[in-house]
Structure formats: structure tokens, C-alpha cells
Amino acid sequence: MNSSFAASARVGFVSLGCPKALVDSERIMTQLRLDGYELVASYEDADIVVVNTCGFIDSAKAESLETIGEALNENGKVIVTGCLGVHEDDIRRAHPNVLSVTGPQQYEAVVGAVREHVPIDTPHDPLTDLVPPQGVKLTPRHYAYLKISEGCNHKCSFCIIPSMRGRLASRPVDEVLREAERLVANGVRELLVISQDTSAYGIDTKYRTGFWQGRPVKADMLGLAAALGSLDAWVRLHYVYPYPHVDNVMPLMRDGLVLPYLDIPFQHGSPQVLKAMRRPAHAENVLERIARWRSEVPELALRSTFIVGFPGETDHDFEILLDFIDAAELDRVGCFQYSPVAGAAANDLPDPIPDADKQARWDAFMQLQQQISTHRLERYRGRTLEVLVDAVDADGAVARSYADAPEIDGLVYVRGPGSTSLTVGEFCAVTISDSDEYDLFATTV
């Protein structure tokens, strides 16, 4: 342990993994800033480095271990946290010199380890020192992830998140809303609601009512979405499952309070595969539900992810999957080839699919989805849409419409008079002139 006290100390931070891990990083970094640590962007400027790891699939594990090794080589003092932290033995076997290892959501333990190994002598005064009121954010200033719960009560056979992050634990609704309010007051124009299962929000707290802005708010998906919809920002819902109660948010979308966008990880279309995956809502008639939602909210954009090559997936199952995406006409789709995750129940399933078949199915899937996506985007041509500007350069602006979440969906390229003087985080109206497989092209109105 380092026993010499410094007046201030600098912490390097590497954040790997999904938006949920990013939010964990933001919390740890906010606390470190409140404690008086300086955050720096390079290994050489840092007195210590925190690596927030991902352990979801084997390639993410490998990347995390590699990053820890890099941080040890470049800096030498490394604290490890995050999802891979639940496999402490693996980390210590590969890198015996790491100073401390903690699992996901162990914010206090991480900050405690930093304090232990790089103590500082002048206690920081959060009232006088500078931390942005919205906390430290790793996303650009105009959008932010809003994590509403931790953990998950499901037992999908390919997933080890419940064993890493525990059972569903919903944050109090008033706490979530105060955070959202602070973010919006500080310039955030788009709130991305994330969790492992947004439609399950509040089940564990028995939907305990909270008080916000002097009024009661029920802690369920509808109550939260309606309250968020009253803020002056786009509200985008991620990780929703197609349960019947999701129907209740359609009026909020129709009335413009919440973006007409749902991110629903369907993962497959064949009932047999969904059952083997032990997916939530696998018995719901999803196509019927989608048709009903679209009749109520014609603009609704649906995003989803799928897995091909799950153990036991037959040619017939795969045909059903193709028929499903053809019929569902989803707007945005990601597809992954199944890969085993150490510790997941699916590893014990019989009939693994050969890699060549997985690749062939993935190719066929992507080809079909590309046609669907191209066709879906054509319907915007000639229409005027409100977009949010993400970047501006000498040619014009790069923006997103309600149908595009940052990082994972398409873009709207804006050209024409005034497009180069738009500012990042600004909403503007554009006319869609063209489209391709994934993106839209527009001119300023």
C-alpha cells in the first residue's frame, strides 16, 4: 500500500462494455471527482488506472484481459472492476499484479481501492470544487443513458448477466426522475432509458409510488415514461419486452411524449428456439402485437437483435426466423452468431451448429434484413423530420431522427443552406431527399 499522501492525484479510466457498464463508470468517476481526484486521459499522466471490464461473451472477456495487461504495462497500478470482476481468479491468474478486483455496481469498493492505493491529503469540498451538476458523463453533452434498474429476474440460457449483476433491483422512481431532470437542465436533449428489462421496472419494489415535483408517480414503466415525457427532451426506451402492458405506452408515443421507438431484443422467431433460449415473453404473439402497435402509432420504429446458430436451431427454425423478420418489417436490426459464454446454461445444450452454417445463416439473415431496411427507409423520402444534430463539419451535419438511437442505428446526413452552421445538440427540421440501406440524406428546411 502507498502510505505517502499527495495533494491531489490523477486517475485514468478505461470503460469497456455496454451502456449499463458506461453508467457504472460515470458513477465511479463522479464520486472520484467529488473526492478531489483528477481524471486524465492517458496512462502516462495517471497515478493509477481503473479498468471497468465486460465479461458478457468470450471475445469481450479477452478484450478486457488484454486491456488490463496494457494498463499494467503502461502504468503499473491497476484496479479492475465490472462484469469480468466476478471471475477474480481468471483475472489474477492472467494478471497477478492488479491491485484490486471488484464486480459490477461496486462503486464504493472501487473508490475505496483508489483511496487506499493513491491517498490524497486535502479532503475535497464538493460545495466549492467543480463537478458538473449532472455528474461526470462519458456520452456527448446532448444525450445521456438513464439507468433505471440493475440486474434481471430472467434466466435466458445463453446469458450470465443475472449471475453477474444479480436479481432485478429498480431504482426509486423519484431518484431516477431527479437525475433525468438534472441532466435536461444541463443540456441533455435525449434520454436513453436503459436496464436489463425496462418492461419489468418496479416489479421488485411492488411499484412503490414516489413523489416528484410535488406529485405522486407510480414506479412502473408507464408511470416513469409519462413523467420523463413531461421533460423537455427526447425519451427513448431500450430493452423492452413485448408484454401486454407495453401497449399502455403507445398513447404516450402517439401524443409525442415519448419517442415512437422501441428497442426489443427478440433474439429469434421460432418458438422452439425461444423456448430453448428461455426468453421472456416467448409465448406472446409478437406479430399480432406489433401490428396492433403500428395501427395505433404508424410511425413506430422498432429495433431488435437476433442470434443465429443457437444450439439445436434447425433449417426449419431458421426459415421461421426469416419469415418472422420478413413479416415484422423491423426498422433496425442487429444479428449475432451464437457464441458460448462460460458459465451459461446453453453450453450444455445438444446439437451445436457448425461455424460454416452459422455464417451462412448470418449472411442470409443480413441480406434479407438489408432489403427490409432499405424499403422501410424509402417511406421517409420527401417527408420533413425533426432531427438531433450529433456532429457538424465543413460538408454539413450528421444527425439522427426519432428512429435512430446513437451508436447502434442509422444516421441522417444533412446538407444545404445553413447545415454547416448547425450546432451539436440542436434540433432542426429537415426534408428527406434520399435513403440507402441504413441511412437517410436530407436538406435543411
Q: What is the nearest approach in angstroms of ligand SF4 to the Cβ of residue 160?
A: 8
The region of 149-157, 212-220, 331-339, 392-400 touching ligand SF4 under the rule CB under 6 A is 149-157
Is 196 a binder of ligand SF4 (CB under 6 A)? yes
| Distances 169 to 103, 239, 240 between C-alpha atoms, Å | 16, 15, 16
Query: Which C-beta is closer to ligand SF4: that of 155 or that of 316?
Result: 155
Query: Which C-beta is closer to ligand SF4: that of 162 or that of 352?
Result: 162
Q: What is the nearest approach in angstroms of ligand SF4 to the Cβ of residue 322?
A: 22
Is 67 a binder of ligand SF4 (CB under 6 A)? no
Binding mask 213-232 for ligand SF4 (x = CB under 6 A): --------------------
Q: What is the nearest approach in angstroms of ligand SF4 to the Cβ of residue 280?
A: 6
Query: Which C-beta is closer to ligand SF4: that of 155 or that of 292?
Result: 155
User: What is the grid cell recorded at 109?
Assistant: 469498493
Cα distance between residue 47 and residue 71, in whole Å: 12
Query: Which C-beta is closer to ligand SF4: that of 122 or that of 163?
Result: 163
Is 150 a binder of ligand SF4 (CB under 6 A)? no
Please report, as residue ranges, which positions from 277 to 316 form the binding site for ligand SF4 (by CB under 6 A): 280
The region of 46-54, 94-102, 147-155, 308-316 touching ligand SF4 under the rule CB under 6 A is 147-155
Count of residues in contact with ligand SF4, rule CB under 6 A = 10
Cα distance between residue 419 and residue 429, in whole Å: 11
The region of 53-61, 105-113, 150-158, 172-180 touching ligand SF4 under the rule CB under 6 A is 150-158
Query: Which C-beta is closer to ligand SF4: that of 78 or that of 277?
Result: 277
Binding-site member from 35, 179, 190, 197 for ligand SF4 (CB under 6 A): 197
Binding mask 151-170 for ligand SF4 (x = CB under 6 A): -x-xxx--x-xx--------
Cα distance between residue 197 and residue 241, in whole Å: 7
Residue identified by cell 417527408 is 383
- The torsion region of residue 125 among left (phi > 0), alpha (psi -120 to 50) and beta comes to beta
Q: What is the nearest approach in angstroms of ligand SF4 to the Cβ of residue 69?
A: 28
Q: What is the nearest approach in angstroms of ligand SF4 to the Cβ of residue 277?
A: 8
For the beta carbon of residue 371, count every other beta carbon within 10 angstroms. 12
Query: Which C-beta is closer to ligand SF4: that of 153 or that of 272?
Result: 153
Please report, as residue ranges, which positions from 72 to 111 form the binding site for ligand SF4 (by CB under 6 A): none
Long-range pairs, 280-287, Cβ under 8 A, ≥24: 280/154, 280/156, 280/197, 280/241, 280/243, 281/241, 281/242, 281/243, 284/242, 284/243, 284/244, 286/242, 286/324, 286/328, 287/324, 287/327, 287/328
Q: What is the nearest approach in angstroms of ligand SF4 to the Cβ of residue 162?
A: 5
Q: Is 384 exposed, middle or buried (0-12, 13-18, 19+ CB in 10 A)?
A: exposed
Tell me if residue 411 falls in helix, strand or coil: coil
Question: Is the dihedral angle over the CA atoms 245, 247, 251, 256 positive or is it negative?
Answer: positive
End-to-end, the C-alpha distance of the chain in Å comes to 62
Contacts for 125 with CB less than 8 Å, ≥ 6 apart? none
**Are 310 and 346 contacting, i.e. CB atoms less than 8 angstroms apart?**
yes
Q: Which residues contribute to the site for ligand SF4 (CB under 6 A)?
A: 152, 154-156, 159, 161-162, 196-197, 280
